[in-house]
Structure 1
Amino acid sequence: MAEPQAIYLKDYQPPAYTVEKTELKFNLEPHATRVSARLHMVRHPERKAGQALELDGHHLVLQRIAIDGQELTPGEYSISDERLVVHQVPERFVLDTEVEIDPANNTALEGLYVSSGMFCTQCEPQGFRRITYYPDRSDVMATFVTTVIADKAQYPVLLSNGNPIERGELPNGRHFAVWEDPHPKPSYLFALVAGELEKIEDTFTTMSGREVTLQIWVEQENLHKTVFSMQALKKAMKWDEEKYGREYDLDLFMIVAVNDFNMGAMENKGLNIFNSAAVLANPETTTDATFQRVEGIVAHEYFHNWSGNRVTCRDWFQLALKEGFTVFRDQTFSADVNSAPVKRIEDVALLRTAQFAEDAGPTAHPVRPDHFIEISNFYTLTIYEKGAEIVRMLCNLLGWETFRRGSDLYFERFDGQAARVEDFVESMAEVSGLDLTQFMRWYAQAGTPQLDASGEYDSETREYRLRIRQQTPPTPGQQTKLPLHIPVRMGLLNADGRDITLHINGENFGTDTVLHLREDEEIFVFENVDAAPVPSLLRGFSAPVRLDFPYTREHLAFLMKHDSDGFNRWDAGQRLALDIIEDLISAHQQGEAMTLDARLLDAYRYLLTTPTDDKAVLAEMLRLPSEAYIAEQQETVDIDAIAAACKFALKTLAHELYDEFLTLYRSNQSDAPYAPDAEQIACRSAKNVALSYLVATEREEALELAQRQVDAQHNMTDVRAALTLLAHSDRADLGDPAVRAFGERWAHDSLVMDQWFSLQVTRPQKDVLERLKFLMEHEAFSIKNPNKVRALIGTFTSQNRINFHRLDGEGYKLLADVVIELNRLNPDIAARIITPLTRYHRLDGARQQLMREQLERIRREPLSRNVYEIVEKALA
């Protein structure tokens, strides 16, 4: 097998020929679908005349090819596994092809495939080449007219992009539908769905007074799970009009739920195809967290209509252009409609564990990579989450009003075009007058910058001098890093816990300002400071960096109580807990008795006894740092010591503050009808955090509370929280029957069974790997379904660290077995699920060796480009 070759950004050239109009006809059959394509093509003005026509194609059986109505002979073209080449073509021409494909056996779930008896598509990034021969790249934009033909009894609903323009009956029980999308789009935004579906329908009146029809298509038994998503869609449409002035541009907007889907959802123009887990929601079956996730994903895909569809990417190296901007937009939306501090806490927690780990690992890459072997491997947290942080930094640097003007300029200037990262940033520079040349380094340099800060107060001059140094560590392929332009939002607190007015060079900046850090080291001097302050740095997590400041534990407790920034209050608590847990880790490593610093007890007691109007933030502040976050702070990760220290801290807090947690639990009980609104979610969050501490004591009273909460069946959030606690406790007499009953009750619901899988494989007990193997044989599990793989295998390897990293290496072997099987079936999911095996460099020597052995075993297989690229980087 030939070694896959890298593709480089520096080699970009526009296509030799582009498409002005695409006409497609699908004659759908599960194993023998015929696809006829008529492409109206013209030579690109920047490319020289006389070049051959090269089209992408994968697993296609060519039946016919003609140019301007003239059939081509075999000598006039050539075909390989990946490409169709026509040796001579005119400057402008019409290309006709007909191919046959086998959607039913398309286990990769790319292009056109069959899911639960329904035809559906996934074409991003390069799946369209599995449908027909085409210049399958994001800078070829054409209008589309699509005709879909199928058996009417089996596939009564026929959908594609744009507006429906014709429907009709055909002989032999078949029927057809014709769809027209008047907006030029790249092939990755093409969509088709055919199946037995039902819909709910609503309307939305745009700010210009147009009425848009909204439809959500699902299987009949899921209709009752679509109401929330429809409300979320209308909320997102209104928000985008008010916040960004963006109006929807077609007469119809559709969402379809699909059971087998590699991604969360896809923003295909006018026809969004969703993983069913990202759109179906109901109080009986859906937790608060999933309600909020569904709302955010619905908004994300809708927002793509402008930041991704109307303005798309020139090439796939620019992926963060659409994804980073759209993630920032959906994060802001979710913050506006829910709890802004909690949303920021959740986003940063993900960034600081998973994305920072990505930045520090063998697959680290810039937000705009300079090369790739398989573009599907770059749908990463670096592209999405760090990409969003870069956009957020721009907003911090410019201020919202100027940022909005920059967004307007970007949309207006590049509407209908395929753009670059530079186009977006230059729009911001133009409206703001800021020189953002240095800022562009955020897109080019991999790795997480480290800020080392220190402060010094001079009582004679009444000045506080804040020194900040920046350094970005080496990453694969980038040993030397240049200083970045970093916005550091901050304030200073006096001894009473109040923000003081900030004066720099005689100018009044109020009580909160953004410092522009551009050099390797800078000193910022604050004047008229009456006494030594406590700095509140990186408020709102204003830049995706690691920050080190020599805070004492007293300083952290002080900030945790008084900081006016909600995020920094939470962060101070996390830093305090982390500092104390590191002492426990050290004690465990030395074989010494562990003792919890009383300052953590005092801080938690303060939180539990001080009245607050924000229970959502309280719940977040009461959660100890995750094992993954703690591991990210260690040079050599001690899996066992971290687990032992976290367990000791949790149990000690639970026992010492039992009465306070019990009061918090009882005060947030409610029999009100369930609603996934911010107030109720906050109460349930606080209550269930309290319950987690109570059950950790294993007192009968606490276990009975959990059992009653499961039995009440009031809503899935409460049931799932209490059931997980029982299942994870040492009381098998309570946990096992409850888990069994839950599985029996929801055996008919695929998405709830995913929850059932996940809660079992996160158990801390040592027999969990054997249980996982047993569950892989369960009738509700299928390795061909990405949701099942993520729920069972992905959850175990990412969230059950102590058991995945068993010293006998069996956790690693199981993951390698799954990757090898998936590599043959679905390379995209195989490449996504392998990640935990690549994070071995900071583990102890024995575990490193065991993980490398499994990676070497995978490397000996015939590998897809997806898995090959990751394994090679991991073993380099």
Structure 2
Amino acid sequence: MSASTATPVTRLADYRAPEFLIEKTHLTFELHEGYTDVSSRLTIVRNPKSTKTNDLALHGEQLELHSLAIDERSLDSGDYQVTPQNLIIHNVPERFVLHCSVRIYPEKNTALEGLYCSSGMYCTQCEAEGFRKITYYLDRPDVMSEFETVIIAREGAFSTMLSNGNCLSDTVHDGKRVVHWHDPFKKPSYLFALVAGNLACLEDHFTTQSGRDVLLQIYTEAKDREKCHFAMQSLKKAMRWDEETYGREYDLDRFMIVAVDDFNMGAMENKGLNIFNTSCVLAHPASTTDAAFQRVEGVIAHEYFHNWSGNRVTCRDWFQLSLKEGLTVYRDSEFSADMNSRAVKRIEDVNLLRSVQFVEDAGPMAHPVRPDSYMEISNFYTVTIYEKGAEVVRMLANILGPKLYRQATDLYFSRFDGQAVTCDDFVQCMEEISGRDLSQFRLWYSQAGTPELHISDHYDADRQQYSLTLRQYVPATPGQAEKKPMHIPVKMALYGNQGTLNLVINGQNKGTEIVLDICQEQQTIVFEQVVEQPMPSLLRSFSAPVRVFYDYQLDQLQKLILLDSDGFCRWDAMQSLMRIVLSKAIDGKGHQAEQMVLIKVLRQLLADYAAMDAALLAYMLDLPNEPYLASLYEKANPVTISRVRTQLQHELATQLQTELLNCYQSLQNSAIGLSAQAMAARSLRNRTLVYLLQIDDARYRGLAQQQFSQAENMTDQFAALRALVHAEHAHTEAQTALQSFYQQWQHESLVVNMWFQVQASRPWGDVLQEVRELLQHEAFDARNPNKLRAVIAAFANQNFTRFHDSSGNAYQFLAEQIAGIDQRNPQIASRLLTPLTHWHRFVDEHACLMRKALESLSQHELSKDVYEVVSKSLNKAH
């Protein structure tokens, strides 16, 4: 792993203000076939907050330097030094204009960072450190500059030539087209964007709350223009929601989105010119599932919300990444909850936290929401930064309440507009408005790991007192062996026989729901005037990202499932009941009594499905997934977990097939259209179909075939396909459906990705061999991140059963693939590596094989992205 010698560790403690600032940035791009010439004119001044130095060190990688001048004076070779990562200019004045000319090769840029060429279209991806691959610059978020961009290309080469801000001119002379852009708002280089290609445009307008007209434009390939209408409506909803909820109005005269097929991320919030992965823009009922529609809506909103929480106010350094990402994920989560089902959105968020983020917290890559150090910043675009960071903001919002939280965010946006700031600056605004000391709460930013809450209770009938004792514990994580108690807000209620009880503490009636501030290692809360034995409803709406341990009895779980007014708690009670059944079976203990209770409750819910939120019931039917079940064990046996879960799913299907079939058939006519109700009906209907396909019965295979062939939307067609492919006894029908599906959709790249994914995630048979064959398929492109995610990531992350085959061949396969991908695209390679990093969580026979795969990977010449993850996983990190 030779990257070790060239990969220094960057530490938060070593942060220093930049020695110089760039007041103005003028860039000229001359696009030629095979290469691009970039000329920069930078107005640079010494930072009065920095220490004195005579040398200017600029970032730059993979650049071919052609000329360099200060204030029109050309520099000799002795005036500067070029290294693989920097350009160092000696003895610079206090204030000067730096002229620099470099050549880059976008067509050869397979890493998709900086300026690259995708299917004949030029586009940029500069976050986090891609701008240094475009020109020499102070490529750090605390250097904010006013940008002007000139794009020059042969006349007729491109119909679309875009950059940030407002278009000043678009002219043609001497056979060249010249487009001039200006962004009046200062921004760091990571928010720079450029696009040049032959694209179609969907236009609309939005009138802001102050009456300003904003031009909205979505650019994509001409064949996909009609798939952008939903994205446009989502954008307008997000703009209105941000005005009404946060008082944030859009600031430029136009807002542009460009859809790109080759993109490492979901989307990028470049000021005024968002660049999106096509999977997060294109949507049409015939070719897009309901889940994909909701993802488009959420990601569109997320990137738009960044205009304030990320662009107008940005992060001082990359350790503060969650300042913009955590806040913006919370904002888009609340937007999605308002647009759809709040309970279901909360369940989706919690599922991701428990299945992925909690596992990350327990692994070698565990890090705080504000990390202390990194080798490669791209490795820290993680669920901890994003999703756990959002939960930290959610806790602050719950602690302050809606009114004070809004006042605090108003203060934050006004005080720090146009600045690069820190997580502490954000929390300080919360403190000032609320008058509360949040110094202990700040531990959520600096302390890694998932806190555990161990809860016990006691009811004193004579005194009519109910005591709840909460003890917290934060497990050790790499570099943090000892942990301090956290400030954990626990939202709760108490249920009696007639519903919720009033909560009286120290003689004060707190209503029927309360947020307890748990700040000590152990606290006891005493509720008074409790006239009957109560049942606690804990961590309502998942008020904190913690693991809760409370010994619910089966009858208590039954009551919560059927009666709790909090949708999350109903689902969570069902998950707890299912987990009890599964855990006892995994541990080889008797579980028949618990299983009978589970069947009884599910039968009752299905019999009364018409009175329930169909989307919520659909999620309540889902068994806990395998990664979450594995996370409950210090040493998990993946083979046993998969076998037991499959057996329970089959048993539930067998016992409940009458109710499942009735529900499926009754929902047929209500699952039409794109309304929230229709989406919910489809979700429930397709969950029941999955259960029915667990039974080896030609009737149910026939139902799936009929749904597949007659479906009028992609949600139902793909759900039927997936149910057939994932049912071992439906192999013949599945092969016919797969061939038909590919023939119908082979010209739709995003749909073909789904076709890849459903095969790679099939939980039975020799899937590894099939995955190898898919990598040779005519529709597969190893340079395209979406294709890699659809096949390799789907197999490694979504096919727990076959990836953890006892032979260990899948582990070695993943290591081999990563070694090859790392040569082309280190970011994607590093992210594909995650499943192997959890080797220590499995029984020895699997752990040894996973570690062996990592060790074989370590023998390759690795990028710093992959090196960091491998070395930390093998405990060889610096």
Which bracket does the TM-score occupy, shorter chain normalised? over 0.9
Give, as a single letter, the amino acid of the residue that structure 2 aligns with 1:518. C
Aligned to 2:438: 436
SS in 2 for 1:540: coil
Mapped partners of 2:216, 2:130: distance in 1: 27
What's the CA shift string for 1:362-393, capped at 9, x where partnerless?
10000000111100000000000000000000
> 2:114·2:132 contact (CA, 8 Å) conserved in 1?
yes
Mapped partners of 1:723, 1:152: distance in 2: 47
Q: Indicate yes or no: 2:549 matched with 1:552.
A: no
Mapped partners of 1:756, 1:733: distance in 2: 17
Mapped partners of 1:192, 1:594: distance in 2: 62
Mapped partners of 2:104, 2:178: distance in 1: 19
SS in 1 for 2:541: helix
Structure 1 segment 68-107 matched on structure 2, within 5 A: 68-107=71-110
Superposed displacement of residue 277, structure 1? 0.6
Q: Indicate yes or no: 2:15 matched with 1:15.
A: no
Superposed displacement of residue 257, structure 1? 0.2
The alpha-carbon distance between structure 1 residues 629 and 472, as it changes in their structure 2 partners (threshold 3 A), is same
SS in 1 for 2:51: coil
Give, as a single letter, the amino acid of the residue that structure 1 aligns with 2:524. I
**In the alignment, which of 190, 193, 201 is matched to residue 192 of structure 2?**
190
Mapped partners of 2:714, 2:166: distance in 1: 38
Aligned to 1:629: 628
Aligned to 2:740: 741
Superposed displacement of residue 731, structure 1? 2.1
Superposed displacement of residue 594, structure 1? 7.7
Superposed displacement of residue 762, structure 1? 1.1
Q: Indicate yes or no: 2:290 matched with 1:292.
A: no
Q: Which moved more, 1:316-325 or 1:777-786?
A: 777-786
What's the CA shift string for 1:673-726, capped at 9, x where partnerless?
532x21111100110011111111122211111101100131000011011111
**In the alignment, which of 140, 144, 150 is matched to residue 141 of structure 1?**
144
Structure 1 segment 208-223 matched on structure 2, within 5 A: 208-223=210-225
Structure 1 segment 784-863 matched on structure 2, within 5 A: 784-863=783-862
Aligned to 2:272: 270
Aligned to 2:587: 586
What's the CA shift string for 1:502-543, capped at 9, x where partnerless?
000111110000000000000000000001100001000000
Aligned to 2:723: 725
Aligned to 2:245: 243
> 1:439·1:485 contact (CA, 8 Å) conserved in 2?
yes
Mapped partners of 1:298, 1:654: distance in 2: 38
What's the CA shift string for 1:423-458, capped at 9, x where partnerless?
000000100011000000000000000000001000
> 1:16·1:51 contact (CA, 8 Å) conserved in 2?
no
Give, as a single letter, the amino acid of the residue that structure 2 aligns with 1:765. W
Mapped partners of 1:29, 1:400: distance in 2: 53
**In the alignment, which of 673, 685, 693 is matched to residue 691 of structure 2?**
693
Q: Which moved more, 1:594-603 or 1:413-422?
A: 594-603
Superposed displacement of residue 668, structure 1? 1.0
Number of equivalences: 870
Mapped partners of 1:180, 1:843: distance in 2: 54
SS in 2 for 1:239: helix
> 1:7·1:372 contact (CA, 8 Å) conserved in 2?
yes
Structure 1 segment 464-613 matched on structure 2, within 5 A: 464-496=466-498, 498-587=499-588, 597-610=595-608, 611-613=610-612
> 1:453·1:466 contact (CA, 8 Å) conserved in 2?
yes
SS in 2 for 1:308: coil
Mapped partners of 1:791, 1:524: distance in 2: 49
Superposed displacement of residue 49, structure 1? 3.4
Superposed displacement of residue 200, structure 1? 0.4
Give, as a single letter, the amino acid of the residue that structure 1 aligns with 2:494. L
> 1:499·1:564 contact (CA, 8 Å) conserved in 2?
no
Q: Indicate yes or no: 2:67 matched with 1:64.
A: yes
Aligned to 1:615: 614
TM (norm. structure 1) is: 0.98
Mapped partners of 2:574, 2:52: distance in 1: 65
Superposed displacement of residue 50, structure 1? 3.9
Superposed displacement of residue 163, structure 1? 0.5
Superposed displacement of residue 495, structure 1? 2.3
Superposed displacement of residue 177, structure 1? 0.5
Aligned to 1:750: 749
Q: Indicate yes or no: 2:118 matched with 1:115.
A: yes
**In the alignment, which of 406, 410, 413 is matched to residue 412 of structure 2?**
410
Mapped partners of 2:173, 2:159: distance in 1: 13
Mapped partners of 2:578, 2:544: distance in 1: 22
SS in 1 for 2:441: helix
Mapped partners of 1:416, 1:447: distance in 2: 33
What's the CA shift string for 1:644-699, capped at 9, x where partnerless?
11111111111111111111111111277532x21111100110011111111122
Q: Which moved more, 1:436-445 or 1:699-708?
A: 699-708
What RMSD in Å do the two structures reach over aligned CA positions? 1.2
Q: Which moved more, 1:128-137 or 1:647-656?
A: 647-656
Structure 1 segment 355-374 matched on structure 2, within 5 A: 355-374=357-376
Mapped partners of 1:542, 1:605: distance in 2: 30
TM (norm. structure 2) is: 0.98
> 1:321·1:421 contact (CA, 8 Å) conserved in 2?
yes
Mapped partners of 2:587, 2:95: distance in 1: 72
Give, as a single letter, the amino acid of the residue that structure 2 aligns with 1:372. Y
> 1:325·1:387 contact (CA, 8 Å) conserved in 2?
yes
Q: Which moved more, 1:353-362 or 1:609-618?
A: 609-618
Mapped partners of 2:742, 2:174: distance in 1: 46
Give, as a single letter, the amino acid of the residue that structure 1 aligns with 2:254. L
Superposed displacement of residue 171, structure 1? 2.1
Uncovered stretches (5+) of structure 1, i.e. residues with no partner: none
The alpha-carbon distance between structure 1 residues 30 and 808, as it changes in their structure 2 partners (threshold 3 A), is farther
> 1:584·1:596 contact (CA, 8 Å) conserved in 2?
no
The alpha-carbon distance between structure 1 residues 531 and 220, as it changes in their structure 2 partners (threshold 3 A), is same
Tell me the percent identity. Answer: 51
> 2:670·2:678 contact (CA, 8 Å) conserved in 1?
no
> 2:581·2:591 contact (CA, 8 Å) conserved in 1?
no
The alpha-carbon distance between structure 1 residues 862 and 672, as it changes in their structure 2 partners (threshold 3 A), is closer
> 2:671·2:678 contact (CA, 8 Å) conserved in 1?
no
Give, as a single letter, the amino acid of the residue that structure 2 aligns with 1:557. Q
Mapped partners of 1:369, 1:786: distance in 2: 27
> 2:639·2:804 contact (CA, 8 Å) conserved in 1?
no
Superposed displacement of residue 30, structure 1? 4.1
Q: Which moved more, 1:614-623 or 1:476-485?
A: 614-623
Mapped partners of 1:221, 1:152: distance in 2: 23
> 1:31·1:101 contact (CA, 8 Å) conserved in 2?
no
Uncovered stretches (5+) of structure 2, i.e. residues with no partner: none
Superposed displacement of residue 222, structure 1? 0.4
SS in 2 for 1:324: helix
Q: Which moved more, 1:244-253 or 1:45-54?
A: 45-54
Superposed displacement of residue 153, structure 1? 2.6
**In the alignment, which of 32, 36, 40 is matched to residue 37 of structure 1?**
40
> 2:554·2:594 contact (CA, 8 Å) conserved in 1?
no
> 1:49·1:91 contact (CA, 8 Å) conserved in 2?
no
What's the CA shift string for 1:583-641, capped at 9, x where partnerless?
22123xx8x99887200001101111124241111111111111121111122211111
SS in 2 for 1:524: strand
> 1:30·1:102 contact (CA, 8 Å) conserved in 2?
no
SS in 1 for 2:779: coil
> 1:822·1:829 contact (CA, 8 Å) conserved in 2?
yes
Query: Following superposition, which runs of at least 4 residues in structure 1 exceed 3 angstroms of deviation?
Result: 592-596
The alpha-carbon distance between structure 1 residues 712 and 131, as it changes in their structure 2 partners (threshold 3 A), is same
Q: Indicate yes or no: 2:421 matched with 1:419.
A: yes
Mapped partners of 1:451, 1:593: distance in 2: 26
Mapped partners of 1:702, 1:457: distance in 2: 50
> 1:283·1:716 contact (CA, 8 Å) conserved in 2?
yes
> 1:30·1:114 contact (CA, 8 Å) conserved in 2?
no
Aligned to 1:667: 666
Give, as a single letter, the amino acid of the residue that structure 2 aligns with 1:501. N
